[in-house]
Amino acid sequence: MSEPVFRLLAGFLPVLLFLSALMYYDSFKLVRLRWVAITILFGGASAALSYVIHLALSPHVQMDFTSYSRYVAPVVEEMAKSLVAAYLIRSGRTGFLVDAAIFGFAAGTGFALVENGYYLESIPEIQPAVWLIRGFGTAVMHGGTTAIFAITSQLLAERRSARDTSIFVPGFLLAVVLHSLFNHLVFSPVFSTIVILLACPLLIFIVFSKSETSLKNWLEVGFDADTELLELIRSGRVSESKAGRFLQSLKDNFSGEVVVDLLCYLRIHLELSLHAKGMLMLREAGFDAEPDDESRALLAELEYLEKSIGKTGRLAMTPFLRMSAKELWQMYVLRV
């Protein structure tokens, strides 16, 4: 094998194979390849952003290269990568830990590919052993730290809200610390690379296991609850439910037409919720389930009703729609 080919394979292939393995072992196939590719591109853009920031900071930071790489570079680079993952979490494109892990690692992958491409172009004489360390160690580290940021942020988003900016702080600090420790070279580069290769798969395995358990529990409980309430609405017995009694109490605050729209909004939301959960069940069984025309029509009607009932109406219905990160993610699943 020629040396240029070896450098390409060693510098780029490991992190791509790791990302491919993450997507392969996602039994529900929650993340589409198109969005992974887009995330990689934006991860690459974050590497370019980091380079620009490094150029701007370097003249003003009185540090030698080693100190800069240990204490400043991790902050700059993790911040740039984290912006990509944070946007995906905040916009509701991650419903579960496995989504966050894949998107986070994809952002780090894009960063690593551009960074290694830069080194390949600017310093072509780097020794093969160094390329192995960069490909199997540094590149996987970039993917791993951003995945850790995304996983931590997703966990906090499920407990609070994806709109709460503070949920991104703990994961960011953790990613910076791990990145800095890697750059400190406390151990030999070879040993650090081995640790990365052992630790990342173990962490991802734990995340995948927890996420699958959480997803199955959510599907079972959510499916039964949604079905029961939808059946009450369709049979005209919605007044027997808490949601029905609540709608009755709203007559003093909303006109009769708006109350009817609120009931329709609840019904359509439940139907879409069942559609999304059904798609996930089919995907787990190995079928390539996609949104159908009925789902798209219901989504269009839901958007119309959202405008009709207004922000106040949507807030009033929030307790019965269980609008957590997972429920918001359902709507995204049906749109893609």
| 26-63 pLDDT per residue, tens | 766 778 888 999 999 999 999 999 999 999 998 888 88
Which pLDDT belongs to residue 327?
59
Same domain, 54 and 168: yes
Determine what percent of the chain is predicted with pLDDT higher than 90. 28
Average pLDDT over residues 254-274: 76
Comparing 7 with 184, the larger pLDDT belongs to 184
Comparing 320 with 136, the larger pLDDT belongs to 136
User: Which stretches of the chain are DSSP H helices?
Assistant: 3-24, 33-57, 65-71, 73-90, 97-122, 128-133, 139-159, 168-184, 189-234, 242-249, 256-284, 293-321, 325-335
In this structure, what token pair is assigned to residue 240? 């027997």
Q: How far apart are CA 142 and CA 107, in angstroms?
A: 9
Same domain, 135 and 268: no
Q: How far apart are CA 40 and CA 146, in angstroms?
A: 12
Same domain, 187 and 330: no
Whether 187 is in a domain gets the answer yes
* Structural domain span for residue 304: 236-335
Give the 3-state secondary structure of 47-103.
Answer: HHHHHHHHHHHHHHCCCCHHHHHHHCHHHHHHHHHHHHHHHHHHCCCCCCHHHHHHH
Q: Phi-psi category of 295—alpha, beta or left, where left has phi over 0 and alpha has psi -120 to 50?
A: alpha
Same domain, 164 and 249: no
1 has a pLDDT exceeding 60? no
What is the CA angle 44-45-48, rounded to 5?
A: 95
Same domain, 327 and 178: no
Q: What does the radius of gyration of the chain's CA atoms come to, in whole angstroms?
A: 24
Which pLDDT belongs to residue 242?
63
pTM over 0.85: no
Whether 165 is in a domain gets the answer yes
User: Which residues are CB-neighbours of 229 under 8 A, at least 6 positions away?
Assistant: 238, 241, 243, 266, 270, 320
Same domain, 68 and 197: yes
| Nearest Cα to Cα of residue 261 among 227, 300, 302, 297 | 302
Q: How far apart are CA 168 and CA 176, in angstroms?
A: 12
DSSP 278-309: HHHHHHHTT------HHHHHHHHHHHHHHHHH
Handedness of CA 331, 332, 333, 336 (dihedral sign): positive
248 has a pLDDT exceeding 70? no
| 128-162 pLDDT per residue, tens | 777 788 888 888 999 999 999 999 999 898 788 77
Same domain, 195 and 88: yes
Q: How far apart are CA 273 and CA 264, in angstroms?
A: 14
Q: How far apart are CA 150 and CA 102, in angstroms?
A: 9
Which pLDDT belongs to residue 217?
65
Which pLDDT belongs to residue 54?
94
Out of 67-81, 89-103, 129-143, 216-230, least confident range: 216-230
Out of 4-8, 17-21, 249-253, least confident range: 249-253
| Nearest Cα to Cα of residue 163 among 330, 39, 331, 324 | 324
Model confidence at 192, in pLDDT bands (50, 70, 90)?
Answer: confident
Handedness of CA 135, 137, 142, 148 (dihedral sign): positive
| Nearest Cα to Cα of residue 196 among 173, 208, 179 | 179
216 has a pLDDT exceeding 90? no
Whether 225 is in a domain gets the answer no
Same domain, 167 and 265: no
Same domain, 67 and 117: yes
- Tokens 């930071």, located at residue: 61
Same domain, 122 and 252: no
Whether 222 is in a domain gets the answer no
User: Which residues are CB-neighbours of 294 under 8 A, at least 6 positions away?
Assistant: 275
Out of 12-21, 90-99, 232-241, least confident range: 232-241
Number of domains the chain contains: 2
187 has a pLDDT exceeding 60? yes
Same domain, 133 and 21: yes
Comparing 256 with 240, the larger pLDDT belongs to 256
